[in-house]
Amino acid sequence: MKQIKSNSSQDYVRINKFIASNTKLSRRKVDEYILQGRVTINNITISDTGFKINPERDKIRVDGELIKQSKKKVYILLNKPQKTISSVSDDKGRVTVVDLIKIKEKIFPVGRLDYDTSGALILTNDGEFANKIMHPSFKIPKTYELKLSKPLEEKHKDYLTRGILLEGKKTAPSKIEFLSKDDKRKIRITIIEGRNRQVKKMFEKFGYKIYRLHRSKIGTISLGNLNSGEWRYLTTQEVSKIESLVSTKK
């Protein structure tokens, strides 16, 4: 394997940052790829994860595929309808969340909501941002509203609030509120983790089924008056706020 040495010009960007910002790979993953000899600069394999490159001039490839610099970073909030897939494509031909947003940038969802779950979903073309906010250590609160198959008992509310054992691991404390005085099936829950089907599994553990699951908020970002299937760009303030939430929790 041919290798070249790092330079250190201030004007250049680190190769791991460049690749992570322009793909779905996290910086840690990029570092692994570099150490595995899967990354080239101008057809020369590098082994230095801190190598600096000139994005205007250098040709960066991962597994032979040229990494193009995204011109513009976009951050979108979608009110995901039910019966849509949280991915870029679907081998069964079902409608994906990306199909609903007709823009030229290649975006992807940050995390996922189940096929039958609706609500707030962020999409972006900024891999670094996505990996930052999805990382389990960053504990961004997510709020869901749901309807249960039967009224929630106080003792179960208490257990779920304090944390329960789910697949061998205790859930972090959550916040649970009743949405209506008269109907204890209607619940709002805020959790800081994002395990697979977590909300459903938490209630299923005590014999409740969820009839309707809707995410109303991610961090400080609310759906507001976005109707199902509608989307909007996040404001610069919203993006920086969510990034600052992440960096202060490190």
Q: Which residue lies nearer to ligand URA by CB, 27 or 80?
A: 80
Q: Kindly state the smallest distance separating residue 200's Cβ from ligand URA, in Å.
A: 3
d(Cα 238, Cα 129) in Å, to the nearest integer? 13
Q: Kindly state the smallest distance separating residue 126's Cβ from ligand URA, in Å.
A: 22
Q: Kindly state the smallest distance separating residue 123's Cβ from ligand URA, in Å.
A: 15
Out of 114, 126, 182, 183, the active site residue is: 114
Q: Which residue lies nearer to ligand URA by CB, 75 or 203?
A: 203
d(Cα 80, Cα 144) in Å, to the nearest integer? 13
Is 114 labeled as catalytic in the residue annotation? Answer: yes
Q: Kindly state the smallest distance separating residue 160's Cβ from ligand URA, in Å.
A: 13
Contact set with ligand URA (CB under 6 A): 113-114, 117, 197-200, 213
Which residues does the annotation mark as catalytic? 114
